[in-house]
């Protein structure tokens, strides 16, 4: 399968435009920041899988509903994978400051509605903290955070394995469709990789649960992945993201509520 059939040439990429071209697009008002990670994805997927997928999905969605797409952010939060080669993890406070600085600059350039397109589960909790951190800072922009899986029904429809989550059938199918030249299917393990956690402290969580469950950074059975499954999931996710872009363009409530909250927080 050739990557050429997955188009993204018409999307508005921040880094590929001239300054005047970018300025002309301020009227769109919405920018997408793809967020991923650098970490091991089994032996068959590249370290940057999450950011690569986030970027391509954002580009494809921007073809359907115009929005400016920033370069993907690969340097994020992946402490749970630091036991394996390739992980680069920022400290939480540094990543929060970096995200704020990026969003400040995006807004300064005239794009005051920013959608974070995150495809790394390890970022999820921190990104929710980031949203809360912006409440009382008086920003002139709003940030929107969709879930990683915008179309979970499509995932459930095509996947065959019960245990998924990392370098699995689902993620490998995404990669086979979007970046087939980067996938090394001959390196996929022959056996099924189930959780190896040998303790049960539920309902509590601990800081080493992920490591105890998946010490090799691989879950399930990627042999069942296919480009066709990837196509079905990508198309569903792209359509949902395009719908969200349209909603965000129409939204005036969130910016209004942010201003109201900030004003009241100064004099409760």
Dist CA 89 CA 138 (whole Å): 29
Residue-wise pLDDT tens digits, 30-54: 999 999 999 999 999 999 999 999 9
Edge-to-edge strand list for the sheet holding 142-144 = 12-13, 68-69, 30-35, 113-118, 142-144
Q: What is the pLDDT of residue 27?
A: 85
Beta-carbon neighbour count of residue 71 at 10 Å? Answer: 13
Q: How confident is the model at residue 11 (pLDDT cuts 50, 70, 90)?
A: low
Dist CA 75 CA 38 (whole Å): 7
Flag whether pLDDT at 122 surpasses 80: yes
Residue of 153, 178, 169, 154 lying closest to 224 (CA atoms): 169
Dist CA 37 CA 34 (whole Å): 10
Residue of 26, 251, 154, 252 lying closest to 12 (CA atoms): 26
Bridge partners of 30, per DSSP, are 113
Dist CA 37 CA 50 (whole Å): 6
The set of residues, in sequence order, having a beta carbon less than 8 Å from that of 29 and lying 6+ positions away, is 110, 111, 112, 113, 249
Q: What is the pLDDT of residue 196?
A: 94
Q: At what angle are helices 49-64 and 227-250 packed, to 10 degrees?
A: 60
Q: What is the pLDDT of residue 7?
A: 56
Beta-carbon neighbour count of residue 147 at 10 Å? Answer: 10
pTM of the entire structure?
0.94
- SS3 label, residue 227: helix
Contact 222, 166 (CB under 8 A): no
Portion of the chain with pLDDT greater than 70, in percent = 96
Residue 203 in tokens: 């309902």
Residue 254 in tokens: 């969130």
Q: What is the pLDDT of residue 267?
A: 86
Flag whether pLDDT at 2 surpasses 50: no
């Amino acid at each position: 399968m050739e990557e050429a059939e997955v188009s993204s040439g018409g999307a508005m990429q921040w880094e590929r435009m001239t300054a005047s071209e970018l300025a002309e697009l301020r009227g769109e008002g919405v920018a997408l920041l793809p967020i991923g990670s650098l970490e091991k994805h089994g032996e068959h997927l590249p370290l940057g899988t999450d950011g690569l997928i986030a970027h391509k999905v954002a580009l494809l969605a921007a073809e359907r509903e115009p929005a400016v797409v920033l370069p993907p952010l690969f340097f994020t939060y992946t402490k749970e994978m630091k036991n394996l080669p390739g992980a680069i993890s920022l400290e939480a406070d540094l990543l929060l400051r970096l995200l704020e600085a990026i969003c400040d600059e995006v807004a300064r350039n005239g794009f005051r509605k920013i959608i974070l397109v995150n495809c790394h589960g390890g970022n999820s909790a921190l990104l929710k903290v980031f949203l809360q951190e912006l409440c009382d800072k008086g920003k002139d922009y709003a940030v929107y955070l969709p879930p990683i899986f915008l179309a979970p029904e499509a995932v459930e429809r095509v996947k065959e394995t019960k245990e998924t989550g990392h370098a699995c059938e689902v993620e490998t199918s995404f990669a086979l469709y979007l970046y087939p030249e980067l996938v090394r299917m001959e390196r996929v393990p022959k056996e099924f990789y189930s959780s190896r956690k040998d303790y049960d402290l539920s309902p509590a969580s601990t800081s080493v649960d992920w490591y105890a469950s998946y010490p090799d950074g691989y879950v399930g059975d990627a042999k069942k992945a296919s480009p066709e499954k990837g196509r079905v999931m990508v198309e569903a996710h792209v359509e949902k993201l395009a719908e969200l872009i349209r909603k965000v363009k129409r939204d005036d409530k969130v910016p209004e509520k942010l201003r109201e909250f900030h004003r009241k927080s100064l004099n409760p």
